[in-house]
Amino acid sequence: MAVRKPKVIVTRKLPDAVETRLRELFDTELNLDDHPMGPDELIEAVGRAEVLVPTITDRLDSKVLTRAGEGLKLIANFGAGVDNIDVATANARGIIVTNTPGVLTEDTADMTMALILASARRVVEGAGVIQSGDFHGWAPTWMLGRRIWGKRLGIVGMGRIGQAVARRAAAFGLQIHYHNRKPVSPRIEEELGATYWESLDQMLARMDVISVNCPHTPGTYHLLSARRLKLLQPHAIVVNTARGEVIDEAALANALARGEIAGAGLDVFEHEPAVNPKLLKLPNVVLLPHMGSATVEGRIDMGEKVIVNIKTFMDGHRPPDRVIPSML
């Protein structure tokens, strides 16, 4: 007798290999035209699904989750962050939430280093000069950027990604400093040659480059506030590949426009997909469309984690990547 397959609804287009495997294992409903689902569509989906596979842009707040059907037992998020999901409400309704941690570490760390280099050395600005036909030859004082060798990098959030950034940055000659809720182990500190700062304020005031690598939680909202941005040195560069909400984007734009901060490299924004209009006009900012984890390999790895979480749960076991509200 055939085993009944659980109803799985996927909110966005995923890599073909992932979608094919989902169809093989489950009664899977795909989003073939890849349109972002609005609140009404999400409510309709949670009303029918046994498993929902959302992405980080799908807002599963209490208004959506309180409309979930009794059959919905698992939300297998396609993404490491879960700030798009009201995990507490899900947990109260007996809905397990999982994510895809770990698989995007190296890709995001690569993009962080790319933004550090691009911001310090004015790479995008220089490319624009070539493309516009305004390159008229080399000059000794033209398009001068900043050397990163020997500079101090302050990492905000020394988790998997922060540590991966530190390893790359050390190879470029940067001195590693970090702020975290608590210090990493002495072994990791020694390996990375990292200096821990209990006070974020004190670290920010002394760094040449700041890299934001912490998750967005209620406690990290506007962690880099207008007040803290004023602590930065005028030659400092801010790079964010984590979540836009961690930085007060309006205050950052104002500081950059006034020359209070030398530059920024941003892959994420506070009100995505909207970007502060001031940032779009500034020459000292490198802006990317949230592509820090966008590699073929990374997306497939994410999909495989989603599948493992669903299959483990459906087999009656605890999913390996379950998110507990107390963890947030």
Confidence of residue 326 (pLDDT cuts 50, 70, 90): low
Give the other-Cβ count within 10 Å of 254's Cβ.
Answer: 16
Q: Which CATH superfamily is domain 7-103+295-327 in?
A: NAD(P)-binding Rossmann-like Domain (3.40.50.720)
Would residue 190 show up in a list of annotated catalytic residues for this protein?
Answer: no
Confidence of residue 2 (pLDDT cuts 50, 70, 90): low
Across the chain, what does the average pLDDT equal?
96
Matching fold, domains 7-103+295-327 and 105-134+142-287: yes
21, 179, 228, 243: which one is catalytic?
243
Confidence of residue 280 (pLDDT cuts 50, 70, 90): very high
Would residue 290 show up in a list of annotated catalytic residues for this protein?
Answer: yes
- Distance between CA 319 and CA 51 in Å, rounded? 13
Tens of pLDDT along 72-128?
999 999 999 899 999 999 999 999 999 999 999 999 999 999 999 999 999 999 999
Confidence of residue 328 (pLDDT cuts 50, 70, 90): low
125, 272, 304, 322: which one is catalytic?
272
Q: Quick one: pLDDT at residue 4?
A: 82
- The dihedrals phi and psi of 52, each to the nearest 5 degrees, come to -110, 135
Tens of pLDDT along 6-51?
999 999 999 999 999 999 999 999 999 999 999 999 999 999 999 9
Sheet with 285-287, strands from edge to edge, namely 195-196, 175-179, 152-156, 209-212, 237-240, 263-266, 285-287
- Partners of 74 in beta bridges: 51, 96
In the chain, where the domains are located: 7-103+295-327, 105-134+142-287
Answer for the pair 320, 312: CB distance below 8 angstroms, yes or no.
yes
- The dihedrals phi and psi of 325, each to the nearest 5 degrees, come to -50, -35
Q: What does the longest C-alpha to C-alpha distance in the chain come to?
A: 78
Would residue 44 show up in a list of annotated catalytic residues for this protein?
Answer: no
> Domain spanning 105-134+142-287 has what CATH number?
3.40.50.720
48, 67, 222, 290: which one is catalytic?
290
